[in-house]
Homo-oligomer: A and B are copies of this chain.
Amino acid sequence: MTAPPHENRPSGRASAHLPPSYDDRPPGSGRALPDTQQGIRRRNLARVMHAVSAEGPLSRASVATRIGLTRAAVSTLVDELIRWGLLEELGPERPGRVGRPGSALAVSGHGPAGIGAEIGVDHLAVCAVDLRGEVSARAVRHGANRGRAPSPVIEELTALVRQVVAEAAGEGLWAAGLAVAVPGLVARDARTVVRAPNLDWHDTDLGALLPADLPPAVDNEANFGALAELWLGKHTPRNFLHVSAEIGIGAAVVVDGRLLRGTRGFAGELGHVPVWPDGPRCRCGGRGCLEQYAGEEAVLRAAGVERGEDPAGPVGLLAHRAEDGDEGVRRALRGAGTALGIALTGAVNLLDPESVVLGGALAGLAPWLLPSLAHELAQRTAGPACPVSVSRLGPEGSLLGAAHSVVRAVLDDPASVAERA
């Protein structure tokens, strides 16, 4: 199977697009769906999908109980979801349960898949995730992208996408959409990279370069990292601040389970919060921004370490040296932790999140960043300091978040798949 033709692909008029709909809205709350019979039916289809996804395998009767509809109504919805390849029947439930045995329903592992892609400064990566959340295929290509023009980079990325889509098709999956994580600011049209300084891309319409047969959604890697934490983390709260880093420092604010995007889509620029306002000049035009103390280049410089060719990259290099007891590296990371703690104090006072999560490259450096970071937060906060945790997803977060964003969009509006399949 290959991806079915897609007729609703965004047109060239960037301003006409809506932001991607993969925020974690409560199932069936979709504001976009009106109170018509049709809108209510679509919401109910989403409720069924979310119930089975979250708690399946479930019988029709159990679904009915959970979402508060009659069993007859649920059966009609379920039949449709099975026909579209989104649910499957596992056969009769084990005996010994109370009542008439029903056939257990599960989310299909052979229907639509979300394709996630990541454009890193030093790599490209693509993966496919099925509706059950399992990664069915992946591909990575190492190599520096900094300073390369967007077109050849996207050509390489597209080749990886084709490879992953073909591999997933071998398992009966077809691509429901493509989400691309980039290390930069992305406009709310979900296709224009306004500024990716570490790639040296500016005002680049990636939507026009990406494959025409997949509905693409482009977003900042920190946003996808935060969404991955929200969807895949074990005890992630619904209000948190996710801090990640590749070369720059990015953050994403999640409020009531939804990303705070900002007016232009630029929210979360923690790296340019002033820490010592009279400090060194930053490439953003400011002075003493967090990135000047906790960004990769600042830490390497403070540690007196050359970028070098360590296969684990600069972050791996720093982690190895710190593990080996290199006092210069440890001091540099303590300094970065202090600056992070000061910037996060401001963010916590403004946003009152339930926790701060360190993700991306920061997760690997957490043992040396955390003590000074937590010290600043505790010293500077009245009352109990905001807890800080470390993501278990690490540098995989953004890629997984991208793929899962497509999966969530299917769960949130299963009927959209029927229109395309």
Q: Closest residue to A287 on the B side, CB-wise? A: B380
- Size category of the A interface is 35 or more
Q: Mark A236-264, 1 if CB is under 8 A from B, else 0.
A: 01010000000000010101000011111
Asked if A275 lies at the interface with its beta carbon under 8 angstroms from chain B, I say yes
> Do A379 and B286 touch (CB < 8 A)?
yes
| A381/B286 contact (C-beta < 8 A), A263-B353, A267-B350, A273-B346 known | yes
Question: Quick check: A353 and B40 within 8 Å, CB to CB?
Answer: no
A347 to B262, alpha carbons, bound, how many Å? 11
**Residues of chain B lying within 8 A (CB to CB) of residue A350:** 251, 253, 267-270, 273, 347, 350-351
Interface string of A339-363 (1 = CB under 8 A from B): 0001101110111111000000000
- List chain B residues, Cβ under 8 A from A353: 262-263
Contact yes or no, B354 A263, CB < 8 A: yes
At the interface, yes or no: A272 with Cβ under 8 Å from chain B?
yes
Interface residue? A26 (CB, 8 A): yes
Q: State whether A35 and B40 are in contact (beta carbons under 8 Å apart), knowing that A264-B352, A267-B352, A342-B277 are contacts in the complex.
A: yes
What CA separation (Å) do A406 and B349 show in the bound complex?
28
User: A380: which of B28, B34, B274, B354 is its contact (CB, 8 Å)?
Assistant: B274
> Does A382 reach chain B (CB closer than 8 Å)?
yes
Q: Least Cβ distance of A146 to chain B in Å?
A: 19
A132 in the interface (beta carbon within 8 A)? no
Query: A321 at the A/B interface (Cβ < 8 Å)?
Result: no
A193-224: CB near B (< 8 Å → 1, else 0) gives: 00100000000000000000000000000000
Flag whether A408 is at the interface (Cβ < 8 A): no
Can you list 16 contacts pairing A with B, beta carbon distance less than 8 Å? Answer: A28-B35, A239-B262, A255-B255, A263-B352, A263-B353, A263-B354, A264-B352, A265-B352, A267-B351, A267-B352, A269-B352, A272-B349, A272-B382, A275-B277, A276-B278, A284-B381
User: Which residues of A are interface residues toward B (Cβ below 8 A)?
Assistant: 26, 28-29, 31, 34-35, 40, 43-44, 68, 195, 237, 239, 251, 253, 255, 260-270, 272-278, 284-287, 342-343, 345-347, 349-354, 379-383
